[in-house]
């Protein structure tokens, strides 16, 4: 693998940890730039393997396989943030891993993430560490109720979380998350969820896509509306917050930053909910509404290429196709001004992301956000 600030030209080899749909779309973006993708994952029939040049199927703790993989690529990146620390260490000893270890370590642990943000003056919900039942009681004293108990690691799409409405809910909530090390976050009466996809290049340049608004269903992202309906100063603040985080992490690549928009008297303010050190579901609309998608942007960044302009040429509504919703591919494909992306997964299961569809609109004509 390359080291330092080496630029990877066309013909270079991109190692991708993970074989899911994000890895698939990264591999496809790499191919568009004349680069070769090598997927490393333990899974049979992973979607990304269908579109990659090479595949290593091995566990993330197989040191010999990881070493061979690293020696066969020019740079390593990843499609999910829960890369084992030992895996990252082994690979980083061989050469360039982008984004780097600091971003991984920060985003993998909710307590570390919130502490990192707070130390840099970035507003979040109130939070407290929960190491055991006594710690949970102390955290409730500090944060109050209602609040949300979350495992420090491995939670996504609403998993690893429990709501505490009153102190009497604490024991059941702690049991629900498996009594794992946790963080208690104060309940935030937010008006809307906003997210920003931001990129930072190897040379430190940055580019942020327009903030978008997200609607969830059953704790899973359902639709993303691009752009979010925000006053210009708030939109600029959201982009500035995301860019600040990327710079503080010395980040290289694309990351997603989720924010809550809170009413605050006659004004509004933003709190950071979480960061994702990878391409992000709420950025899928960029594949069709921007000249340079978040996936191409990530490949450009980790290879040391100039970042592309993040401006959109269209408004968009991106809809995730969850489970058997993907069976309606013919109806979706017949809709006007709609791009459909299916991930090649063999089995549709409840809660499983099978694809997405993006409806485009001329600039300034996107329909209003609705929750249904």
Q: What is the mean pLDDT of each run of 10 residues along the chain (372 residues)?
A: 80 97 98 98 94 97 96 96 89 92 90 96 95 91 92 74 90 91 92 97 97 95 97 96 97 97 83 96 98 98 98 98 96 96 94 97 96 76
Query: Which pLDDT belongs to residue 157?
Result: 57
Distance CA 348, CA 344 (A): 10
Euclidean distance between CA atoms 255 and 208, whole angstroms? 10
DSSP structure class, residue 121: T
pLDDT at 266: 66
CA separation for the pair 196, 209 (Å, rounded)? 6
pTM for the model stands at 0.95
pLDDT for the residue numbered 300:
98
Q: How long a stretch of residues is the chain? A: 372
Q: Is the CB of residue 77 less than 8 Å from the CB of residue 54?
A: no
Bridge partners of residue 37, in order along the sequence: 14
State how far the Cα of 240 lies from the Cα of 223, in Å rounded to an integer: 24
Q: State how beta strands 13-17 and 75-78 pair.
A: parallel
The beta-strand segments (E) located in the chain are 13-17, 36-41, 54-57, 75-78, 127-130, 147-151, 161-164, 182-186, 192-200, 206-208, 212-217, 220-226, 253-264, 267-276, 315-322, 338-342, 353-361
At residue 163, the 3 state secondary structure works out as strand
The runs of H, that is alpha helices, within 128-285 are 133-143, 170-176, 232-248
């Amino acid at each position: 693998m390359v080291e330092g600030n080496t630029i990877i030209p066309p013909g270079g080899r991109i190692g991708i940890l993970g074989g899911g749909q994000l890895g698939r779309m990264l591999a496809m973006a790499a191919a568009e730039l004349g680069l070769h993708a090598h997927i490393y994952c333990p899974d049979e029939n992973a979607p990304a393997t269908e579109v990659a040049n090479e595949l290593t199927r091995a566990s993330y703790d197989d040191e010999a396989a990881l070493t061979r993989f690293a020696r066969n690529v020019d740079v390593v990146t990843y499609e999910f943030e829960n890369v084992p620390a030992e895996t990252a260490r082994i690979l980083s000893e061989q050469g360039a891993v982008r984004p780097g270890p600091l971003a991984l370590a920060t985003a993998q642990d909710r307590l570390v993430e919130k502490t990192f943000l707070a130390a840099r003056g970035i507003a979040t919900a109130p939070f407290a560490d929960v190491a055991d039942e006594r710690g949970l009681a102390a955290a409730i004293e500090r944060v109050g109720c209602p609040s949300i108990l979350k495992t420090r690691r491995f939670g996504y799409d609403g998993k690893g979380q429990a709501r505490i409405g009153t102190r009497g809910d604490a024991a059941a909530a702690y049991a629900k998350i498996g009594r794992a090390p946790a963080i208690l976050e104060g309940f935030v009466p937010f008006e809307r969820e906003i997210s920003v996809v931001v990129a930072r290049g190897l040379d430190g340049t940055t580019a942020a896509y327009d903030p978008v608004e997200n609607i969830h269903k059953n704790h899973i992202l359902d639709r993303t509306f691009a752009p979010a309906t925000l006053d210009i100063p708030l939109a600029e603040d959201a982009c500035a917050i995301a860019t600040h985080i990327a710079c503080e992490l010395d980040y290289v690549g694309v990351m997603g930053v989720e924010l809550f928009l809170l009413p605050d008297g006659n004004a509004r303010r933003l709190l950071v909910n979480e960061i994702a050190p990878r391409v992000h579901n709420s950025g899928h609309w960029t594949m069709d509404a921007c000249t340079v998608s978040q996936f191409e942007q990530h490949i450009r960044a980790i290879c040391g290429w100039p970042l592309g302009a993040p401006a959109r040429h269209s408004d968009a509504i991106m809809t995730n196709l969850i489970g058997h919703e993907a069976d309606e591919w013919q109806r979706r494909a017949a809709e006007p001004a709609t791009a459909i992306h299916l991930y090649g997964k063999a089995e549709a299961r409840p809660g499983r992301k099978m694809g997405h569809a993006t409806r485009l609109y001329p600039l300034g004509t996107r329909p209003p956000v609705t929750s249904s």
